[in-house]
Structure 1
């Protein structure tokens, strides 16, 4: 049956995620779009800003998550870049970008390792790393909360979980930062492709050497567990699939966790009543993390590809159309979250969509929440005072929202 719907008049509002105003504060634009044009076509794609519509697309498996690998290939061809086979395989074999049946197979294997119990075992690791990082800052009297705390913390936890050699750990952060371009191939230039190609090879080779060592001397680390996992039918991850899982743990998890810690800390600085509540009651740490996810979502946008005609909000999305689902907008929808522009640790956040929803809900969401919870638990024991009045937001990504820096003075809590 053919889907038909009337075509509303084109609204005057234009969605521009690349503007300085949007980067500084996207929420006024989201608010206007939700009111004027919640299903809005611009820049060659549909932009969805209502919670109900975003949730619908995330749950509908006819919307493919495999768009990014196609865009990587198209951009490489457009820029005349060759030798990108490994990059393309990384995209096509990553949980983030696969559809069924590949997704179900990979997720079925990886889920056996990424259990709630396994993540919980990492709490002491995260606490030790956070204490070490914060102790240095206390001694100095100040820190850039992003560069000195939020950025190294998730990297440190993942390196420890994988039991990576010390000489490799210092290289993982820069590698991860470079590979992140694969999440936004439209931003890649020829030089970016060359760098990503080089880094993917270096990262994969280094992890391959670690994997070979774990084959000789298996342990309880993540790589050993991934190597050993089998389905009841005997299926297992290939060596390259295992390496790609580890690479994407860093690529997909580090930027979002770093931004979650930074964005949440800024919200607490801007809402001293909520910071006081957190300090008074340690049981609010978990709710602070989830409210930070909702209030200023680190992953603001994600793309899907329609594989059939669908009507959403009175507009027809055709098969082959790109759809940009605005997670940050959905998490500020007043139809779901009363007084959504207020940071409030007492609100019901059960419907927030910061880590997606459905089949492609973020595999590492539990780990990100644990690491951020440890970070907030540490920060509630100190007083932080911003050293700047204006805050700069990173501009190397338009899907991730995070601070470029957050310089603060640090003192023991009164």
Structure 2
């Protein structure tokens, strides 16, 4: 079949600012298209993106960044990451991580997460009394998920300010159009992160606690298998990076969407029981992760297009989540949307292992904002981060009043 040319550039600032109109045009032209600039296939439709995520012939095949001597630590934390593995290695690692998670860590933290969310909102209200506006992104959206993941793993409070800068530097490596400075910063952050977690894991071996890191250090499966040192460190970094980046950006993107749709914000205030469905809708409406790559291990046909063995194909999650073939009025924000098969958490064997924790955090933070304020308005336009793959804001200035 003839595939229409890709009508946009993933590094174009206009596309980064608002990719959804361009997605709609491309999706209508052809659900799978070749991007000559990046050398990979792009899927725009929900069915096609879902197939990319679920088809076992399309795998996460990690190749070390080169030159390898420049990216020693960055390569280490990806070479051993569950997100970059396929069965049977993936199956083994996920089984061990799931066994550690099964100790009830998410439910253990639920009351603590709500208390933290309440206190962060109260702090924003206090600050707003003497200021024109406050930044919800730095004052809450960034603080809460980092604190939660750190508490989950047992990272000492004094060390927690280190985590987000490390994560921010590392995830910039997933973007297109990187500079050598960005790459150097990512490797430096990865090296410092690895060294820190090796030391913390060593402490847990001699002084165990009730945290997830202790359980990851000690977990064994029925065959007596356990995580290697590199797998342990990599798993902690993945949980810290993926575990808060998505939540931060759902919080920012989602609150901005509500502020830009005051009728939906009012609807949610009037009926707090809609909060769980509203969280799913906010993840669908403006996806925190826009692109997820896979590599064909053999020739695979997706919607009439043959992806040759060795070629890359990407699921455009934000485009899939706006597909009119699946979602009624997809460009409309509807906090009561009940039929919502969004794929913001992925699908298949790589479905986000931290999804239950993310939902606890998001329900706590949005619930606190709704219940502890009487006024919540956008103070001025919220600037976006200049990256496409991980979609988020630089700041979210709001005017709010406590109840």
TM-score (norm 1): 0.91
Q: Please report the RMSD computed on the Cα atoms of aligned residues, expressed in angstroms.
A: 1.7
Q: Which residue of 1 aligns with 2:378?
A: 386
Cα separation, partners in 2 of 1:29 and 1:149, compared to 1, 3 Å: same
Paired residues of 2:382 and 2:393 also in contact (CA < 8 A): yes
Q: What CA deviation, in whole Å up to 9, does each residue of 1:326-354 have, x standing for no partner?
A: 11111111111100111112222441100
1:109 aligns with 2:96: yes
1:14 aligns with 2:4: no
1:302 positional shift: 0.7
Q: Which residue of 2 aligns with 1:57?
A: 52
1:38 aligns with 2:25: no
Paired residues of 1:387 and 1:408 also in contact (CA < 8 A): yes
Q: What SS does the corresponding residue of 2:9 show, helix, strand or coil?
A: coil
Paired residues of 2:253 and 2:286 also in contact (CA < 8 A): yes
Please give the residue correspondences for 1:167-316 in structure 2 after superposition, counting only pairs within 5 Å. 167-184=158-175, 186-316=176-306
| Whole-angstrom distance in 2 between the partners of 1:324 and 1:282 | 36
1:323 aligns with 2:310: no
Paired residues of 1:131 and 1:378 also in contact (CA < 8 A): yes
Q: Which residue of 2 aligns with 1:121?
A: 108
Paired residues of 1:45 and 1:322 also in contact (CA < 8 A): yes
Paired residues of 2:194 and 2:233 also in contact (CA < 8 A): yes
Cα separation, partners in 2 of 1:115 and 1:32, compared to 1, 3 Å: farther
Q: What CA deviation, in whole Å up to 9, does each residue of 1:163-203 have, x standing for no partner?
A: 2123311111111111213434x544333333223222221
1:230 positional shift: 0.9
| Whole-angstrom distance in 2 between the partners of 1:237 and 1:323 | 30
> Which one of 140, 152, 157 corresponds to residue 143 of structure 2?
152
Paired residues of 1:288 and 1:345 also in contact (CA < 8 A): yes
Q: What CA deviation, in whole Å up to 9, does each residue of 1:208-237 have, x standing for no partner?
A: 222122112211101011112111000011
TM-score (norm 2): 0.93
Q: Which residue of 2 aligns with 1:3?
A: none
> Which one of 145, 152, 161 corresponds to residue 161 of structure 1?
152
Paired residues of 1:256 and 1:299 also in contact (CA < 8 A): yes
Using the TM superposition, name which of 278-287 and 108-117 deviates more: 108-117
Paired residues of 2:58 and 2:295 also in contact (CA < 8 A): yes
Cα separation, partners in 2 of 1:261 and 1:349, compared to 1, 3 Å: farther
1:125 positional shift: 2.2
Paired residues of 2:287 and 2:391 also in contact (CA < 8 A): yes
Paired residues of 2:52 and 2:314 also in contact (CA < 8 A): no
Length, aligned pairs only: 395
Cα separation, partners in 2 of 1:303 and 1:355, compared to 1, 3 Å: same
1:263 positional shift: 1.1
Using the TM superposition, name which of 123-132 and 221-230 deviates more: 123-132
| Whole-angstrom distance in 1 between the partners of 2:172 and 2:384 | 17
1:91 aligns with 2:83: no
Q: What CA deviation, in whole Å up to 9, does each residue of 1:60-96 have, x standing for no partner?
A: 0110112xx42x52xx33xxx6253332121111011
Using the TM superposition, name which of 201-210 and 284-293 deviates more: 201-210
| Whole-angstrom distance in 2 between the partners of 1:231 and 1:350 | 35
1:27 aligns with 2:20: yes
User: Structure 1: any 5+ residue segments left out of the alignment?
Assistant: 1-6
Paired residues of 2:150 and 2:240 also in contact (CA < 8 A): no
Paired residues of 2:197 and 2:233 also in contact (CA < 8 A): yes
| Whole-angstrom distance in 2 between the partners of 1:52 and 1:13 | 19
